[in-house]
Amino acid sequence: MSLWNSDFLPTLNVGQWFNNVVSWMNDNLGPLLNVIDDALTTLNDGLTDFLNWVPPLIMVLLLAGLGTWVRGWLFGLFAVIGLLLIQAMPTADLWPEAMESFALVLVAAVIAMILAIPIGILAASNGIASRIIRPVMDLMQTMPAYVYLVPALFFWSVGPTTGLVATIVFAMPPGVRLTELGIRQVDPEMVEAGHAFGAPRRQILRGIQFPLAMPTVMAGINQVIMLSLSMVVIAGLVGSGGLGEPVYQGISNLDLVTASEAGLAVVVLAIYLDRLTSAFGDKSAVARASRPRKKAAATA
């Protein structure tokens, strides 16, 4: 037996093990998987129907108005131009797909943050939990995006639920990491002051640590939304709808016009969501309070 080849290694049927796990989950967790499917489908379809029910020009004005209120008139003008561009591109009717992608991103990002923030708080408050959670987050961030589609396909087949579940799992790590980081960066003297006044641990978290960590948490929300949008496009391969489908069809058919226009619509949504969520972080009370100190330090 030669050590220069793999003949001496034992045979490990990893694929069969994975197949057994998936089969067991389908057989024993079928009702739970159905509940998840129904809940995600209802949320996604309901939000998509609402966004497409609003007349496109009214939706443009609403989104532009939100951008103007949060970030200023220049951003509001960009929103008007970018969203009208999506409607004006003639090759395909991209507006319904854009609203479908918008709904997918919102549903996935909200669920991802609902899961990520408590996990980040647990990691920040417990050293053992942090040492367990960090390698898991490392693994989740290093795995290729397409890998998340594989198990979801076996559980829910082709459809929006597969894309949503894969997107939620793919987008969670930045939310967990930045929530933990923000809480750990809170000045320990602030926490000690809370203990000195007899505040319980939960009240310190709710009244001191989490508000002071909000700019970092908002940065995590921004990253979750960006990853959700990138994964939603990939999820178009498994019938999740949205702008991913025309992008994939354009690439498959070597149709540069369709692929480029759908890709440009994705870019417009990405810029809008990125600048909007980052502006919400800048508007937090802690961020506003830190600006005078930064200006004073810069002029000193």
Q: Where are the domains of the chain?
A: 30-290
Helix (H, G, I), strand (E, B) or coil at 87: helix
User: In 185-243, which residue ranges form alpha helices assigned H by DSSP?
Assistant: 188-196, 201-204, 210-235
pLDDT value for 227: 87
Given a cut of 50, the residues of the chain with pLDDT beneath it are 1, 296-298, 300
User: What's domain 30-290's architecture?
Assistant: Orthogonal Bundle (1.10)
Helix (H, G, I), strand (E, B) or coil at 200: coil
Token pair for residue 7?
């003949």
Residue 132, number of CB atoms within 10 A of its CB: 12
pLDDT value for 112: 92
Are the CB atoms for 85 and 98 separated by under 8 Å? no
pLDDT value for 277: 84
pLDDT value for 64: 92
